[in-house]
Amino acid sequence: MIQDEILRRRTFAIISHPDAGKTTLTEKLLYNGGVIHEAGEVKGKHGTKAATSDWMALEQQRGISITSSVMQFDYKGLRVNLLDTPGHKDFSEDTYRTLVAADSAVMLIDVAKGVEDRTKKLYEVCRYRNIPIFTFINKCDREGKAPLELIDEIETTLKMACWPVTWPVGLGGLFFGLYHRTRKIIYPYSGPHDDQDTTPIKVDDLMSPELDKRIRPEVIENLREEIALIDGTLGEFDHQAFLDGKLSPATFGSAKQDFGVDVFLDLFKDWAPGPAPRKTKSDVVVNPLDSDFTGFVFKMQANMDRRHRDRVAFIRICSGKFERGMKVQHMRLDREVRLAFSSQFVAQDRETVDEAYAGDIVGVNDTGNFQIGDTITTGKKILFEDIPKFPPELFARLSVTDAMKRTKLQKGVRQLSEEGAIQLFIDPYVGAQDPIIGVVGELQFEVLIYRLQDEYGLDVKLIKLPYKVARWPKDKNGKPTRELKGNLQIFNDAAENPVVLLEQEWDLNWAQKENPDIEFATSITMERYKL
Ligand code: G4P
Ligand 1 centroid, distance to 222 Cα (angstroms): 28
Tens of pLDDT, residue by residue over 239-278, are 999 999 999 999 999 999 999 999 999 999 999 999 999 9
**484, pLDDT greater than 90:** yes
Give the number of other Cβ atoms within 10 Å of residue 404's Cβ. 7
Q: What are the CB-based long-range contacts (under 8 Å, 24+) for 63-69?
A: 64/88, 64/89, 64/90, 64/443, 65/90, 66/90, 66/301, 66/443, 66/447, 67/301, 67/304, 67/344, 68/344, 68/346, 69/299, 69/301, 69/314, 69/344, 69/346, 69/361, 69/363
Q: Whose CA is nearest to atom 7 of ligand 1?
A: 21
Domain spans of the chain, in order of start: 9-69+81-271, 278-377, 394-529
Distance, C-alpha 361 to centroid of its chain: 14
| Best mean pLDDT range from 20-24, 141-145, 347-351, 413-417 | 141-145
pLDDT number for residue 468: 95
Q: Whose CA is nearest to atom 4 of ligand 1?
A: 19
Which residues, 6+ apart, have CB-to-CB distance to 155 below 8 Å? 161, 162
**In what helix (H) or strand (E) does residue 486 lie, and over which residues does it extend?**
none
48 pLDDT band, cuts 50/70/90, is very low
Q: Whose CA is nearest to atom 17 of ligand 1?
A: 21
Give me the residues paired with residue 189 across strands: none
pLDDT number for residue 362: 87
Ligand 1 centroid, distance to 525 Cα (angstroms): 37
Cβ atoms 445, 377 nearer than 8 A: no
Ranges 20-29, 155-164, 359-368: which has the least confidence = 359-368
pLDDT number for residue 303: 57
Ranges 183-187, 423-427, 473-477, 520-524: which has the least confidence = 520-524
What is the atom index within ligand 1 of the atom nearest the CA of 253?
A: 23
What are the C-alpha distances in Å from 57 to residues 203, 242, 305, 408, 421? 54, 42, 12, 26, 19
pLDDT number for residue 19: 94
Is the minimum distance from the CB of 85 to ligand 1 under 6 angstroms?
Answer: no
pLDDT number for residue 530: 36
230 pLDDT band, cuts 50/70/90, is very high
Fold agreement between 9-69+81-271 and 394-529 = no
Ligand 1 centroid, distance to 180 Cα (angstroms): 24
The average pLDDT across 150-174 equals 96
Residue 281: Cβ-neighbour burial (10 angstroms; 0-12, 13-18, 19+): exposed
Ligand 1 centroid, distance to 46 Cα (angstroms): 18
What is the atom index within ligand 1 of the atom nearest the CA of 16?
A: 3
Is the minimum distance from the CB of 18 to ligand 1 under 6 angstroms?
Answer: yes
Is the minimum distance from the CB of 119 to ligand 1 under 6 angstroms?
Answer: no
The average pLDDT across 121-142 equals 93
Q: What is the CATH number of domain 394-529?
A: 3.30.70.3280
HSE, CB side, 13 Å, CA atoms: give it for residue 473. 24
Taking the C-alpha atoms of residue 123 and residue 112, their distance in angstroms, rounded to an integer, is 19
Ligand 1 centroid, distance to 20 Cα (angstroms): 7
Is the minimum distance from the CB of 139 to ligand 1 under 6 angstroms?
Answer: yes
Taking the C-alpha atoms of residue 141 and residue 254, their distance in angstroms, rounded to an integer, is 6
Is the minimum distance from the CB of 109 to ligand 1 under 6 angstroms?
Answer: no
Tens of pLDDT, residue by residue over 370-428, are 989 999 999 989 999 888 888 899 999 999 988 889 999 999 999 888 888 899 999 99
Ligand 1 centroid, distance to 21 Cα (angstroms): 5
What is the atom index within ligand 1 of the atom nearest the CA of 25?
A: 7
With residues binned 3-state (H G I as helix, E B as strand, rest as coil), the percentages for the chain, rounded to 5, are 30, 30, 40
Grouping H, G, I as helix, E, B as strand and the rest as coil, residue 21 is: coil
341 pLDDT band, cuts 50/70/90, is low
What is the atom index within ligand 1 of the atom nearest the CA of 255?
A: 23
Percent of the chain with pLDDT over 70: 88
Is the minimum distance from the CB of 256 to ligand 1 under 6 angstroms?
Answer: yes
Tens of pLDDT, residue by residue over 194-220, are 888 999 999 999 999 999 999 999 999
pLDDT number for residue 67: 46
Q: Whose CA is nearest to atom 29 of ligand 1?
A: 19
Is the minimum distance from the CB of 260 to ligand 1 under 6 angstroms?
Answer: no
349 pLDDT band, cuts 50/70/90, is very low
Q: Whose CA is nearest to atom 31 of ligand 1?
A: 19
CATH classification (class only), 9-69+81-271: alpha beta
135 pLDDT band, cuts 50/70/90, is very high
Cβ atoms 72, 82 nearer than 8 A: yes
**326, pLDDT greater than 60:** yes
Ligand 1 centroid, distance to 63 Cα (angstroms): 16
Please tell me the total number of residues recorded for the chain in this structure: 531
What is the atom index within ligand 1 of the atom nearest the CA of 257?
A: 23
Cβ atoms 138, 22 nearer than 8 A: no
Which of 24, 71, 263 to mutate to test ligand 1, by most ligand atoms within 8 A of the CB atom? 24
Mean pLDDT of the chain: 87
Is the minimum distance from the CB of 258 to ligand 1 under 6 angstroms?
Answer: no
Ligand 1 centroid, distance to 391 Cα (angstroms): 30
Which of 17, 19, 29 to mutate to test ligand 1, by most ligand atoms within 8 A of the CB atom? 19
62 pLDDT band, cuts 50/70/90, is very low
What is the atom index within ligand 1 of the atom nearest the CA of 24?
A: 7
**168, pLDDT greater than 50:** yes
Is the minimum distance from the CB of 24 to ligand 1 under 6 angstroms?
Answer: yes
The average pLDDT across 42-65 equals 42
pLDDT number for residue 419: 80
Which residues, 6+ apart, have CB-to-CB distance to 233 below 8 Å? none
Grouping H, G, I as helix, E, B as strand and the rest as coil, residue 489 is: coil
DSSP H stretches of helix in 298-364:
none
pLDDT number for residue 408: 93
Cβ atoms 321, 275 nearer than 8 A: no
Select 278-377's CATH number: 3.90.470.10, 3.40.50.300, 1.20.1090.10, 3.30.70.260.
3.40.50.300
Sheet holding 327-330, edge to edge: 335-338, 327-330, 375-377, 294-302, 311-319, 361-366
Ligand 1 centroid, distance to 234 Cα (angstroms): 32
Q: Whose CA is nearest to atom 26 of ligand 1?
A: 139
**319, pLDDT greater than 50:** yes
Which residues, 6+ apart, have CB-to-CB distance to 197 below 8 Å? 188, 190
Ligand 1 centroid, distance to 38 Cα (angstroms): 16
Which residues, 6+ apart, have CB-to-CB distance to 164 below 8 Å? 147, 151, 181, 230, 234, 249, 250, 251, 252
